[in-house]
Amino acid sequence: MLPLDGITVVSLEHAVAAPFATRQLADMGARVIKIERPGIGDFARNYDTRVKGLASHFVWANRSKESLTLDVKHPEGSAILHKLIKTADVVVQNLSPGAAKRLGLEHEVLSKDNPGIIVCNISGYGTGGPDEKRKAYDLLIQSEAGFLSITGTPETPSKAGISVADIAAGMYAYSNILAAVIQRGRTGRGCEIDLSMLDAMTEWMGYPLYYAYDGAPPPPRGGASHATIFPYGPFVVGDGRTVILGLQNEREWTAFCGVVLEAPDLAADPRFSTNSARAEGKVALTQIITDCFSSLTTEQVVERLDRAGIANAKMNEMADVWNHVQFEARDRRRQVDTPAGPIPALLPPGGIGQPPRMDAVPALGEHTAALLEELGYSDSDITNLRNAKVV
């Protein structure tokens, strides 16, 4: 038995934030009923066709769910939705601003028939305030939260290569829902969770916010290098490849000079004797490091780094990550079914002593008939609903 077995989640979701949150609930055993628009579905289904004709975002964030197509604006569709919610434990929605209220999905309304219901609203800017109704996409929130201002090169700010604001919101939705389920077990009552992408992304910005406290300069953009610790980042080696390395303290700096650079006297050079000094003199120190590395191969540099106890890493491409030796050694690889056939997947992080749920990615509306039958609709009722384009 997984910890969320017996918990039913009804999710009016699209894109990344809410689907990522509910997929994790499904991983832990929850039954997730995904409401999708008839004939169209979650628009993330059509972002690309990279996974056997299916969209990469969608197959990642939607395994182990049931897909119910439903026109929630139609009176009969709305009635079906509310029937589902009456016996559900959790409702999740990341609809456009104001849509949930128009559909009667506020906790105040739903809790009249279902006092234990937990409602999680995910939006760009949260309830209240002048930005409440603003549309929000991942890149826009990365910008609003200051992430772009500290990411990239000195000349060019850069977005994250993944939907980091959506993922942050999804993670906080997941953890808040788990906390709400525990709270309900003690009180018998549900609650409303008001979660914004801006709140989630800004929480992750805690270090640069405090670094720039009280008008201090913010961390400079340093590309793939650390903004305030040096040497910490990529360095080109003689064979044209790049090695990533990082130093954290003075003991490692001494070992780096003696073992890796084979220049032990450099450790006492006042230009580089502290991390602050090394960060200030990074141009000169970078030249010293690359001059040393220019006559070495990647393997030789890595061997010296390992011998000195200096943390280092490969700059992997996506194919390298799929084939990472750690996943094979730790048995982290699995397969997940999809409408286009099985695809590889990795176990979710962590573990609770038993395998997580990793069921199929649903086809659009795949579970519509079965779910309607559970609600008491006959075959002819379902046919009529299909003909009326309610489902």
DSSP state of 354: S
Residue 226 has pLDDT above 90, yes or no: no
Q: Are 308 and 355 in a shared domain?
A: no
Q: What mean pLDDT do residues 345-365 have?
A: 94
Domain end residue (candidates: 291, 315, 339): 315
Specify the CATH number for the domain of residue 46. 3.40.50.10540
Which range among 61-75, 194-208, 299-313, 314-328 shows the weakest confidence by mean pLDDT? 314-328
Peptide bond into 362 cis (omega under 30): no
pLDDT band at 206 (very low <50, low <70, confident <90, very high): very high
Residue 138 pLDDT: 96
Q: Does residue 226 lie within any of the structural domains?
A: no
Specify the CATH number for the domain of residue 251. 3.30.1540.10
Condensed to tens digits (0 to 9), the pLDDT of residues 171-186 reads 999 999 999 999 999 9
Residue 353 has pLDDT above 90, yes or no: no
Handedness of CA 25, 26, 29, 33 (dihedral sign): positive
Whether 198 contacts 206, CB under 8 Å: no
Q: Are 38 and 176 in a shared domain?
A: yes
For 296-310, give one letter per residue: b (16+ CB within 10 A) or e. bebeebbebbeebeb
Residue 223 pLDDT: 86
Helix (H, G, I), strand (E, B) or coil at 163: coil
Residue 120 has pLDDT above 90, yes or no: yes
Residue 330 has pLDDT above 90, yes or no: yes
pLDDT band at 34 (very low <50, low <70, confident <90, very high): very high
Helix (H, G, I), strand (E, B) or coil at 285: helix
Q: Does residue 91 lie within any of the structural domains?
A: yes
Q: Are 84 and 124 in a shared domain?
A: yes
pLDDT band at 294 (very low <50, low <70, confident <90, very high): very high
Full residue range of the structural domain in which residue 378 is found: 8-205+350-387
Domain end residue (candidates: 263, 296, 315): 315
Give me the active site residues, please.
166
Condensed to tens digits (0 to 9), the pLDDT of residues 260-290 reads 999 999 999 999 999 999 999 999 999 999 9
Q: Are 137 and 276 in a shared domain?
A: no
Q: Does residue 12 lie within any of the structural domains?
A: yes
User: How much of the chain exceeds pLDDT 70, in percent?
Assistant: 100
Residue 56 pLDDT: 97
Q: Does residue 223 lie within any of the structural domains?
A: no
Contacts of 271 (CB under 8 A, 6+ apart): 277, 281, 284, 285
Q: Are 286 and 190 in a shared domain?
A: no
Residue 79 has pLDDT above 90, yes or no: yes
Q: Are 156 and 267 in a shared domain?
A: no
Q: Are 32 and 170 in a shared domain?
A: yes
Residue 389 pLDDT: 96
Q: Are 303 and 157 in a shared domain?
A: no
Q: Are 19 and 162 in a shared domain?
A: yes
For 121-153, give one letter per residue: b (16+ CB within 10 A) or e. bbbbbbeeeeeeeeebebebbbebbbbbbbbee
Q: Does residue 266 lie within any of the structural domains?
A: yes
Q: Are 45 and 188 in a shared domain?
A: yes
Q: Does residue 107 lie within any of the structural domains?
A: yes
Q: Does residue 92 lie within any of the structural domains?
A: yes
Residue 228 pLDDT: 82
Domain total of the chain:
2
Q: Are 355 and 299 in a shared domain?
A: no
Q: Whole-angstrom Cα distance, residue 45 to residue 35?
A: 13
Which amino acid, 254?
A: T
Condensed to tens digits (0 to 9), the pLDDT of residues 183-196 reads 999 999 999 999 99
Q: Are 168 and 27 in a shared domain?
A: yes
Locus of tokens 């993944």:
162
pLDDT band at 315 (very low <50, low <70, confident <90, very high): confident
Domain end residue (candidates: 315, 333, 366): 315
Q: Does residue 3 lie within any of the structural domains?
A: no
